[in-house]
Every structure is written in C-alpha cells, then in structure tokens.
Amino acid sequence: MTTDTAQTNPPPAGPPPAQHDLASEFLDRSTPISRLRNLLHRYPALSPAIVLVVAIVIFGIISPRFFFVNNLSLITQQVAVVGTLAIAQTLVILTAGIDLSVGAIMVLASMVMAQTAARNGVPAPLALLLGLIVGLAAGGLNGVLVTRLKLPPFIVTLGTLNIFLAITLLHSNSASVVGTDIPGLITWTGTTFPVVGVGITYGVVLMLVLYIVMAFVMGRTAWGRHVYAVGDDKEAARLTGIRVNRVLLSVYVVAGAILAVGAWIQIGRADAASPNAGTDLNLDSITAVVIGGTSLFGGRGTLWGSLLGALIVGVFRNGLALAGLDVLYQTLAVGILVIVAVSLDQWIRKVRN
C-alpha cells in the first residue's frame, strides 16, 4: 500500500474547483444575509445559542433580580428535568419518530423508585435499579411496537403514554410519596452545592454528564452515525447494510434508560414523587428539541441544541414571571417561540436545494 494521499493530478492554477456547485454558486453572491444563513446552516446550534444570549440580556435588563444567584440556581433546577427528557426525545426525533410517552415513563420510573424504597423497604440503590429496569422495559416496549408491529411512533407512544400513566396510578393508588419518607440517596439529586455562589444541584450535574456522554456517543461512535442515517433515509440505511430495526429498538431502550435517570432527578427536584407530576413534560421536551433546531423529519439536529432549547424555555418562563407577567403569557411566549424557531429553521435550510 504505497498510495499516500498525495494528489495524483494537481489542479491547474486558478480558482479551486467548486465543491458544492449549487450552494457555492449561490453563496458567491454573498449578501450579508445569505452569509449569515450559511453560517447558521453550518452550525445548527448557533441560532438557539444567539436566542438564549439575547433573551438573557433582555430579561436581565428588564428585571435586575434575574441575575440574582438564587434565581440562576432556580432556572438550572427547572431546566434539569426537561433537559434530561429532551435528550431522550432528541434521540427518538432524530430517527424521524416522536415519543409522547417520555413524561409518563419518567413518572412511572420515579414512582417505582420512591414507592419501593419508602413503602416496600427496598434498599435505595436497588430501588434506583428497579426504576432503571422499568425505564428500560418501557422504552423497550415502545421500540418493539415500533419495529415489530410497524406502527407509527406517534400512535405507539400515544397508546403507551396512557398505559404507563394508568399503571403508575394503579401501582401508587394515586398517592404521592413525600420526600421525608424517601431515602437520602434517591433525593440526593436535589442536594445543592455552590458554584461561584450559585447553588447547583447534583441533578443538574447529572443532566450535564448525560449530555456530554450522549453527545460523544452520537458524534463519535458508529451507533450515533447509524441513528442519523436511519432518521435521514430509512431505506437507504437498510440498503447500506445498517440493521434499521435494531438501531430503532436500541434508540427507544436507551431513551428509556435516560428517562429513568430523569426520574431520579425529578424526585430530587420535587423532594417527592407524585403520580401527577410531569403531565406537560412530553410537550415541553418536544418544544425544547424543536427550538434547539432538530428536525422533526429526522436525521438532523444536535443534543446541544436541545439543551439550549430547554434553557431558552426555562429562561423565558422565568424572565417573564420576574417581569410580573401572568403565567398565561409565559405559555403564549413559548408557543410563539416554537413557531418562530421552526420558521427560522426552514429559512436556514433553504441554503441547500
């Protein structure tokens, strides 16, 4: 093997050959707007990052209390659960699916953790493990239904959303478990430690660790690439030799495991486990993913975008509340945000074609 990468035929003098004909032709007429668009297209997490920074600055100006350490601490805690669910949601959406049952799986896992430890006397580590197993099984059920029965993920998870909620209520007799009954290990995720004066919970740290690990997996392993390929074009992935069903099933199982970690974070955050917690978490997680620039058609998006999306929603809700606006306006703002984010995304994607 002697062929080094030395070019066999050096290009003649003059401009280098166009690499992306259409795109570069288009961009050669580079108006500032088209250049901005190209930049945003190349770095999908850039636009949510800009929105986040702008939002933080504006809310900081409106209300000086926004930058109070207690408030910053509160925002991170509010984001921890949605942010973790958004990881699971991102994985599923990258495969061109959607998971409406993320909130239900999380609540089910949290009830299993809290209840087995508080009422059935199961040791705390084992209770956490049981919750993890429940999360894996619930995700696995979604995955089997999607891959074996070939049902659309929307339908599957709409069904399992209700099934998991019903199981949760049956299992818990619709009763919450209060924090004082739950062993310290399970509520540990709500414990804070100071980072330059801002109280950060271990739950927030856990969420960040999950992001780092999963971002690595998505970007640097074959599995991650196959997830993108399957979401991009399922048939092409199959013909390339990727075992599409195996990848899909594993995505739902991994999502289930992440949701179980989310359950742990939720118990710490609420200092309780309630079967009625997290009813809006499904939509909140989808909102975070979409604002973060991940395409609902699959194959495009990043985990970091979803984290930014979750932070944007958290900052908006918090900032509007500090500005003295009614909760209704927070909801209104989030709705507008979703539509603006997706419109912006469509506009950015016009770079190609």
Partner 1 sequence: MDQKGTKLTTTDSSRPASTLPYTQPVLKATGLVKTYGKVVGLDGVDIELYQGEVLAVIGDNGAGKSTLIKCLTGAEVPDGGEIWLNGRQMSFKRPQDAKQFGVETVYQGLAVSPALDIASNLYLGRELRKPGILGSVFRVLDSKLMRKNAKAELDRLGISTLQDVTVAIENLSGGQRQAVAVARAAAFGSKVVVLDEPTAALGVRETNQVLDLIRRLRDEGIPVILVSHNMPNVFDVADRIHIQRLGKRAATITPKSHNMTEAVAIMTGAASA
Instruction: Tell the burial category of 159 from Cβ atoms under 10 Å away from its Cβ (0-12, 13-18, 19+).
Output: middle
| Closest distance to partner 1 from the beta carbon of 83 (Å) | 24
| Closest distance to partner 1 from the beta carbon of 282 (Å) | 26
Q: What one-character DSSP code corresponds to residue 1?
A: -
Closest CB to partner 1 among residues 1, 13 = 1
Closest CB to partner 1 among residues 64, 241 = 241
| Closest distance to partner 1 from the beta carbon of 253 (Å) | 17
Give me the residue label for tokens 């705390």: 124
Closest CB to partner 1 among residues 217, 283 = 217
| Closest distance to partner 1 from the beta carbon of 219 (Å) | 9
| Closest distance to partner 1 from the beta carbon of 10 (Å) | 11
Closest CB to partner 1 among residues 181, 233 = 233
| Closest distance to partner 1 from the beta carbon of 59 (Å) | 34
Q: Which amino acid is at 324?
A: G
Q: Are 134 and 108 in contact (CB under 8 A)?
A: yes
List the one residue out of 254, 241, 176, 198 whose CA is nearest residue 68. 198
Q: Are 110 and 102 in contact (CB under 8 A)?
A: no
Q: What one-character DSSP code corresponds to residue 149?
A: S
Q: Name the strand (E) or helix (H) holding 240.
A: helix 234-240
Cα distances from 176 to residues 41, 304, 340, in angstroms, run 46, 33, 38
Q: Are 72 and 210 in contact (CB under 8 A)?
A: no
Closest CB to partner 1 among residues 112, 242 = 242
List the one residue out of 269, 316, 265 whose CA is nearest residue 291. 316
Give me the residues that bind partner 1 (CB under 8 A), please: 1, 3-5, 7-9, 16-17, 19-23, 220-223, 225-226, 228-229, 232-233, 235-243, 299-300, 352
Closest CB to partner 1 among residues 37, 300 = 300
